[in-house]
Amino acid sequence: MDIRAVNDLSFEEFVNIFGNLVEKCPIVAATVWSERPFGSFTALEKAIHDFIDHLPQSGKEGLLRCHPDLAGRDLQRGTLTQESRVEQVAAGLDALGSEEASRMERLNDEYKQRFGFPFVICARMNDKATILHQMTERCQNEPALETLRGIEEVKKISSLRLHSIILVDTPRL
């Protein structure tokens, strides 16, 4: 799919394809559709990131709260979104030893208790070891800083999801 094909999509098709670039927040894609035509995929990516950056602090926290725990209940129960499942599996989070699993659960809880939103990291750019390390480190951050840190990860995730749609779809056209 090239950018001209993207610009020709109805809002329903667009939201259907790009609606989970930001986890469980189809409003992001549904909003940036207004900005068509996009000159390039980079312009589309920038529109997504701009929407996120312009959210007020509470909206940024809200966006983080739409994310699942890493190696949490949704992974165990099979209720993750397709995108999240692929990312968590790629980072090896479906194959934790029992000690790693309890450590991650403890850190997830500690993080949520401290910040009021879940720990978000771009799992595709990490593995279970770096994730556990980052969880420990970031638990020490100041809340305002950590919101922005989480939001940077959301933007990385959305960019990789966008690129994966483009890659997957290219051979079809």
Q: Please, what is the minimum distance in Å from the beta carbon of residue 3 to its own copies?
A: 19
Residue 30 or 160: the one with the smaller Cβ distance to its own copies is 30
Residue recorded with tokens 């549904």: 30
Contact 88, 123 (CB under 8 A): yes
SS (H, E, C) the chain: CCHHHHHCCCHHHHHHHHCCCCCCCHHHHHHHHHHCCCCCHHHHHHHHHHHHHCCCHHHHHHHHHCCCCCCCHHHHHCCCCHHHHHHHHHCCCCCCCHHHHHHHHHHHHHHHHHHCCCCCCCHHHCCHHHHHHHHHHHCCCCHHHHHHHHHHHHHHHHHHHHHHHHHHHHHHC
Residue 26 or 92: the one with the smaller Cβ distance to its own copies is 26
Q: Please, what is the minimum distance in Å from the beta carbon of residue 32 to its own copies?
A: 8
Tokens of 89: 């599996």
Q: Please, what is the minimum distance in Å from the beta carbon of residue 73 to its own copies?
A: 9
Residue 28 or 135: the one with the smaller Cβ distance to its own copies is 28
- Considering the candidates 54, 67, 133, 163, report the single residue annotated as catalytic: 67
Q: Tell me which residues touch its own copies (CB under 8 A).
A: 10-12, 15, 24-35, 51, 54, 56, 58-59, 61-63, 65-66, 112, 116-117
Residue 88 or 115: the one with the smaller Cβ distance to its own copies is 115
* Known catalytic residue at 133: no
Q: Please, what is the minimum distance in Å from the beta carbon of residue 170 to its own copies?
A: 26
Amino acid of residue 62: G
Catalytic residues: 67
